[in-house]
Amino acid sequence: MEMSRQVANIVITGFSATGKSLVAKEIAQRLNWNFIDTDAEIVKLAGKSIDEIFQQDGEGQFRKLEREVIRKTCPQRQTVIAIGGGAIVDRRNYELLAENGLLFCLEAKPETIYQR
């Protein structure tokens, strides 16, 4: 597909419960690309859930793990990456993701997010 030669990665972000992982998986399947959910990778790396990381270690530790996962993920090619909505607030993450892929921000109506 022509897009494979033009775009290294596709990055999907957005507010919680906008469907980032679902949409990213679907895009990856249609393009026959790899799929990575950074939150799932953080859970693997930490050996505990995201809620546990926040409760036991704090947001700072979560963001540190998030940066590490993004740094390791970005050099890959033909990968659709689902990232948490807060990931691009960190300028280093944003620059790395933007240099290595095309970013899309999903939106949903507040009612839809609340229902999910």
Alpha helices in 1-116 (DSSP H): 2-6, 20-31, 38-46, 50-52, 59-73, 91-99, 110-115
Q: How far apart are CA 10 and CA 60, in angstroms?
A: 26
Mean pLDDT of the chain: 92
pTM for this predicted structure: 0.88
Over the stretch 101-111, which tens digit does the pLDDT of each residue have? 999 999 877 77
- Spans of all domains in the chain: 1-7+45-116
| Topology adopted by domain 1-7+45-116 | Rossmann fold (3.40.50)
Contact 80, 12 (CB under 8 A): yes
H or E segment at 10? strand 9-14
**DSSP annotation of 84:** -
